[in-house]
Chain A
């Protein structure tokens, strides 16, 4: 059974780089790893996705090692508006069901 775990919370200051890791075993070999951001009273919003190695877009980078048993979301130079809960999303290898990570509350302070 696929399990996805993340740190419960992280604290940072404005301007710092933040790395959030998700551990996921037994994920589907033919699907991506995706990360979402959620603000209070809103649904999650797509940030970035990748299959392996490194992917970068205008807001984040995603690092995925060759064994794909984890992934790391990197947020460069965070600001107060990046305070949110961040989730990884994978497709379970055996269940073929979408599984969200446990979520990481990122608190950015001035």
Chain B
């Protein structure tokens, strides 16, 4: 069974631009969560989707948004990029709603660099 895939793996953007990241969950998984990982802040929860509905959102500004499609694939978008948005963005999928008891399967991440 294929794992979680994220595209692109690496991305370089400049301040003010916008970016869209994509995540394809494991087949059969209906839940997708997104995380931002930085050396200073660690792993921070961005948002979670279950059956195309955003179920929860972390403490990030409105420039961060996402969506989930009927095939469970998910995208996240960051508008008006800032230098501080440089991070590894991780996507995780699970069979049920995002809970600590539902094992999350992580993709390799997208490394975003904002210049």
Contacts and interface: CB of A to CB of B under 8 A. Distances in A.
A68 B14 CA distance: 44
B107 A43 contact: yes
A45 B101 contact: no
Interface stretch (B42-50, B65-73, B76-84): B42-50
Pick the most buried of A32, A96, A98: most chain B CB atoms within 10 A of its CB.
A98
B101 A43 contact: no
B100 interface: yes
B101 A31 contact: yes
B100 A89 contact: yes
A34 interface: yes
Give the size category of B's interface with A.
20 to 34
Contacts, number: 62
A63 interface: no
Nearest to B111: A41
Interface of A: 28, 31-34, 36, 41-46, 49, 87, 89-91, 96-103
29 contacts: A32-B100, A34-B101, A34-B103, A42-B106, A42-B108, A43-B90, A43-B92, A43-B107, A44-B90, A44-B104, A44-B106, A45-B106, A46-B105, A49-B101, A87-B42, A87-B43, A89-B100, A96-B56, A97-B45, A97-B58, A98-B33, A98-B45, A98-B98, A98-B100, A100-B35, A100-B42, A100-B44, A102-B42, A103-B42
